[in-house]
């Protein structure tokens, strides 16, 4: 994202303006207390940028140069507490957001429509989408990694019994980052105790 070096020609780009406004709004709500840092994720093909500040999720169309309107068809609630993790799928077709409200929301990026909302038992600290876009993994505050099937494929609806399944975890340490390997075979996780673990996604070991 290139910014004009001439401040008089472009004093405040729409993207920077929205990010600054979101930060100010969050600061006003929380006062002098702590709030979640801003998160930024770029679409793999450079189509858009997603920004999360507190419970607010905003998306910017880099090609159109404008903000994107989000819609929710999942029947779930909107984020009501700090978003702690955001992630695009490898091909950019899906996007996931999750946080302190125990919600994991999955979005289709062609329309920026939320297609699925999962409720975790604990607050969520990290999220990732498998290379094939069939699964979303998320980590709760106890360091347990959960797996859920993406419920909409080819227009299908989310199954009522599509519940998260625990895979593995760090246990007693909050996972701060989680990524799939480029080939989709492994998941790498890092936690607050400075431990990094690599798991075989196919064998769960």
**Is the residue at 23 inside a domain?**
yes
Task: Please report the pLDDT score of residue 34 as a whole number.
Answer: 52
Query: Do residues 114 and 136 touch, judged by C-beta distance below 8 A?
Result: no
1 — pLDDT class (breaks 50, 70, 90)? very low
Could you read off the pLDDT of 30-72 as tens digits, one per residue? 433 456 689 999 999 999 999 999 999 999 999 999 999 999 9
- What are the structure tokens assigned to 176, written together? 């701060």
| Domain, as residue range, for 79 | 14-200
The predicted pLDDT at position 30 comes to 41
pLDDT averaged over every residue in the chain: 81
d(CA 91, CA 27): 34
| Of 89-93, 161-165, 181-185, minimum mean pLDDT range | 161-165
Judge whether 1 lies within some domain: no
Which residues are CB-neighbours of 2 under 8 A, at least 6 positions away? none
Residue 6 lies in a domain: no
Which CATH number goes with the domain that contains 47?
Answer: 2.130.10.10
Q: What is the pLDDT of residue 101?
A: 96
Nearby residues of 99 by Cβ (< 8 Å), 6 or more positions away: 36, 52, 55, 79, 81, 82, 83, 84, 85, 123, 124
């Amino acid at each position: 994202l290139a910014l004009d070096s001439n401040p008089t020609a472009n004093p405040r780009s729409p993207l920077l303006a929205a990010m600054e406004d979101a930060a100010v709004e969050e600061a006003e709500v929380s006062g002098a207390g702590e709030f979640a840092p801003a998160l930024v994720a770029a679409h793999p093909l450079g189509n858009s940028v997603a920004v999360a500040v507190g419970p607010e999720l905003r998306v910017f169309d880099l090609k159109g140069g404008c903000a994107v309107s989000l819609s929710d068809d999942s029947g779930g609630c909107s984020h009501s507490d700090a978003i702690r993790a955001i992630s695009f799928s490898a091909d950019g077709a899906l996007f996931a957001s999750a946080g302190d409200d125990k919600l994991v929301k999955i979005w289709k990026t062609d329309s920026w429509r939320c297609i699925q909302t999962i409720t975790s038992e604990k607050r969520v600290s990290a999220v990732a989408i498998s290379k094939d876009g069939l699964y979303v993994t998320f980590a709760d505050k106890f360091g347990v990694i959960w797996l859920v099937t993406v419920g909409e494929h080819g227009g299908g609806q989310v199954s009522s019994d599509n519940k998260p399944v625990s895979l593995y975890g760090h246990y007693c340490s909050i996972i701060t980052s989680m990524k799939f390997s480029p080939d989709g075979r492994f998941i790498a996780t890092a936690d607050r105790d400075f431990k990094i673990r690599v798991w075989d996604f196919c064998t769960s070991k």
